[in-house]
Structure 1
Amino acid sequence: MISKRTDIRLANEAWESLMTAYSRLSSDFGSEPIWNDANMREYDVLYTLAKRDEPMRLCDVQSGVLLSQPALSRMVDRLVTRGLLERETDPHDGRAVLVRLSEEGKRVQRELGRAHGRDIGEALRVLEPEELTELKRLTQKLIEAREADAPAQD
């Protein structure tokens, strides 16, 4: 029988391994020569907007990126200034602002996405297809558990 102490230790070891892999892969991806039009953090914002393919509130964008609200606000300002994002008033709430990809933002996201996707495929080639499927299943299970525990937002 596994003790509670072993469970906690194993959970921490698994978390450390996941974070180490993430850190090393992110560092490797960030050093690729593809990041001319946007850096990796900016790309995360562009990608999050592209996945939804509709204008989003900043709080919704924030749920898809690893940035604090103030850092995301500053980044959105820069991306708007550079012509990669556009702001618009929320038609359902005149006090709220939505952001969306501009045509240039869509182009940059597509080009970076293709190159970044190739880099990811190359980095994960060490895993068999069954292992990739299992990795996806396990991480999705963690995401779904956190979403189920999250308080409802209005």
Structure 2
Amino acid sequence: MVAVAAWESLFRAQVSVMRTLHAEFPSDIMSLNEYDVLFNISRAPGRQLRLKELNRNVLITQPSVSRLVDRLVARGLVRKHDDPDDGRSTIVELTDEGFALFRTVAIRHMEAITTRVGDALDDAELRELTELCDRLRESEAATSAPPAANAHR
């Protein structure tokens, strides 16, 4: 029961904070989903990422990611091109304009996060929360990883 109570508390805290952050997000500039895509691309080496990697890291479904990337291409915020190492893959790259707009929104979003999360917990608690959440994610990734291709059946 302790695990269920902890999960419930974590889930409710996340929902509560996300609702506030969503309400404060500069959606007149870009949506949270667009921000999520640009955030993931901005963290990749050379600000470019294979589309299939992007799909693994964003919070929306694969067909939605493809449509959203096409809209970002139309706005000049990202470019798509074939992967020179794998002709079946597509690379999504953040343009200079896309990075500049992302940074503008990211600064405002980080200020809201700092206010909502940073003002509620001290630095030691924030480090502990980060460590605990990372451990949860790592544990989940380890238990939900697909079986090895040559595992015995």
Shorter-chain TM-score range? 0.7 to 0.9
Partners of 2:104 and 2:60 in 1: CA distance: 23
Query: Which structure 2 residue ranges, 5 or more long, are not aligned?
Result: none
Task: Give the TM-score, by structure 1 length.
Answer: 0.86
TM-score, length of structure 2 as denominator length: 0.87
Matched with 1:27 is 19
In 2 relative to 1, CA 119–103 (structure 1 residues): closer, same or farther, beyond 3 Å?
same
Percent identical pairs in the alignment equals 36
Q: Match of 2:103? A: 110
Selected match of 1:151 from 143, 146, 149: 146
**Does residue 47 in structure 1 map to residue 39 in structure 2?**
yes
Indicate if the aligned counterparts of 1:35 and 1:112 stay in contact, CA closer than 8 A: no
1:105 is displaced (CA, Å) by 0.9
Cα deviation digits, residues 103-132 of structure 1 (max 9, x gap): 111011111111111100000111111110
How far does residue 41 in structure 1 lie from its aligned partner after superposition?
1.2
Segments of 4+ in structure 1 off by > 4 A?
none
For structure 1, which runs of at least 5 residues remain unmatched after alignment? 1-8
2:100 is the counterpart of 1:122: no
State the Cα RMSD in Å. Answer: 1.9
Deviation at 1:62, TM superposition (A): 2.0
* Letter matched to residue 23 of structure 1: V
Rate the CA distance shift 1:41–1:76 in 2: closer, same or farther, 3 A.
Answer: same
**Do 2:77 and 2:95's aligned partners in 1 also have CA atoms closer than 8 Å?**
yes
